[in-house]
Amino acid sequence: MAVAALAAFPMVAQADAPNVTPGEWEFVSVTSVSGDMQIPDQTETERQCITQEELEGADFGFIEEEEGCELLNQDMNADGLSYSMVCRAEGGEATIDGEMRFMGEQIDGTVDILTQSPMGELTMNTSIEGERIGDCE
What is the residue type of 126?
Answer: T
Cα–Cα distance for residue pair 5/85, rounded to 1 Å = 9
Beta bridge partners of 134: 24
CB atoms within 10 A of CB 110: 15
What phi, psi does 53 have (nearest 5°)?
A: -60, -40
Q: What percent of the chain has pLDDT over 90?
A: 55
pTM for this prediction: 0.80
CB 17 within 8 A of CB 29: no
Are the C-beta atoms of 44 and 50 separated by less than 8 Å? Answer: no
Q: How far is CA 69 from CA 2, 6, 43, 83, 109, in A?
A: 10, 12, 24, 13, 21
pLDDT for 109-123, tens place per residue?
Answer: 999 999 987 778 889
- What is the per-residue pLDDT across 55-99, written as a single tens digit (0 to 9) for each? 877 556 666 667 889 999 988 889 999 999 999 988 889 999 999
